[in-house]
Structure 1
Amino acid sequence: MKQAKVLLLEDELQLAKIVTETLRKRDFTVTHVLNGVLGLEAIRKNDFDICIVDVMMPFMDGFTFVEEIRKTDKQLPVLFLTAKSQTEDVVKGYDSGGNDYLKKPFSLEELILRLNELLRRRATGKAPSAVALGRYTFDMNKQELWFGGQLSCKLSHRENELLTLLVQHKNEVLDRKAVLLKLWGDDSFFNTRTMDVFITRLRKHLQQDLSVEIINIRGVGYKLID
């Protein structure tokens, strides 16, 4: 089986050493750099399967690094490592192009589980083409919403993943806990609040067509009506 190539951006040398050694023992190939500037240089010279990115780094922080790579690569999975735990910080991470995050301190076993899940998602691929959603067109691959033949908005990775699930279960109740486990890894109160932020934002993105609604099924989840 092909070894997954990991780019690790982490300026805490002891933590980077532990993560690198653990991943190599699990048959990952790891390239470690200290900041986003060196990370961009590594990306230009090599092909990676996934990135592990610390948020707080000198010269170029993790958010900026991911924003830069997303200009040319929309598909490379990114897992953020962060000591930040405010909802707005996590939302910012997803907006910059991150796919998942782990709060420090974290379990190495959980890190490996998250990496394997992101790699599995990438291998299975996204749904092809675009789908109609009322008067909107939702392009899952490009992470775009179009309205009346014009680009309405570019979606963040997490907005795209959440809207994809809603579309796949259109006119059905989408269980809140199942979504939290699939996209966030657990159904904690903190992640529930974060998910609510993204639901609110999706509603705003879809507000030009009143026939498209995301309704709250109290105590259960959400339903996308078209």
Structure 2
Amino acid sequence: MAHKIKLLLAEDEAALGQILKESLETRDFEVILCENGDKAFDKYKSEAPEILVLDVMMPKKDGFTLAKEIRAIDDTIPIIFLTAKSQTADVVEGFSIGGNDYLKKPFSIEELIVRVHNLIDRTKTQKTTEIITIGEFTFDLAKQQLKFKDDESIQLTHRESHLLFHLIKTKTKF
């Protein structure tokens, strides 16, 4: 059986929250549903989810405030905001406080699932491939640096790092 992605969903609209929870669970997600930001923060601490899907407008603690509190202690967990607020200023605020994605209501469950998988894949890649050894070379993907033995590191461009990473990743397929 494949690993189920543990997702914390904070949504104050009970009907929407239940529909999302059931839809995600039928697609092999483990969903922790919370109806406000306070409960979501407690569940985040006790359940260790892999990704957060937060409604922006919730009682007790809104999604932006919740994200700020979580970002203060965890700067790597992926966060997707769900909201009816679609003004540019709202979107900018969501990204500037550490959100990784922003989905405007109404949205399709398929779009949410694709965004969740993309963020999870990106996070796993960043965690598992920070430093790669290739013969006598060391490649640090996070810092985009290549080093030969004990020589000085060479700073690579984003494109060079991306290309090198994909070449390394596919080398075993040939």
Question: Does the pair score TM above 0.5?
Answer: yes
- 1:46 Cα shift? 1.5
TM-score (norm 1): 0.57
- 1:109 Cα shift? 0.8
Q: Provide the aligned length of Structure 1 versus Structure 2.
A: 135
Structure 1: gaps (5+ residues): 132-166, 171-226
Q: Give, in whole Å, the separation in 2 of the partners of 1:89 and 1:16.
A: 22
- 1:128 Cα shift? 2.7
What residue identity is the alignment partner of 2:158?
Answer: Q
Structure 2: gaps (5+ residues): 131-140, 146-156, 161-174
Is 1:128 the counterpart of 2:129? The answer is no
Q: Is the 8 A contact 2:144 2:158 kept in 1?
A: no
Match in the other structure for 2:113: 112
Q: Give, in whole Å, the separation in 1 of the partners of 2:144 and 2:109.
A: 37
- 1:130 Cα shift? 6.9
Q: Give, in whole Å, the separation in 1 of the partners of 2:39 and 2:50.
A: 17
- CA RMSD after TM alignment: 1.5
Q: Give, in whole Å, the separation in 2 of the partners of 1:86 and 1:29.
A: 31
What residue identity is the alignment partner of 2:23?
Answer: T
1:168 to 158, 161, 168: 158
Match in the other structure for 2:97: 96
Of all paired residues, the percent bearing the same amino acid is 46
Match in the other structure for 2:88: 87
Match in the other structure for 1:64: 65
Q: Give, in whole Å, the separation in 1 of the partners of 2:99 and 2:16.
A: 21
What residue identity is the alignment partner of 2:91?
Answer: V
What residue identity is the alignment partner of 2:44?
Answer: I
* SS of corresponding position for 1:76: coil
What residue identity is the alignment partner of 1:3?
Answer: K
Q: Give, in whole Å, the separation in 2 of the partners of 1:20 and 1:93.
A: 23
- 1:129 Cα shift? 3.6
Match in the other structure for 1:224: none
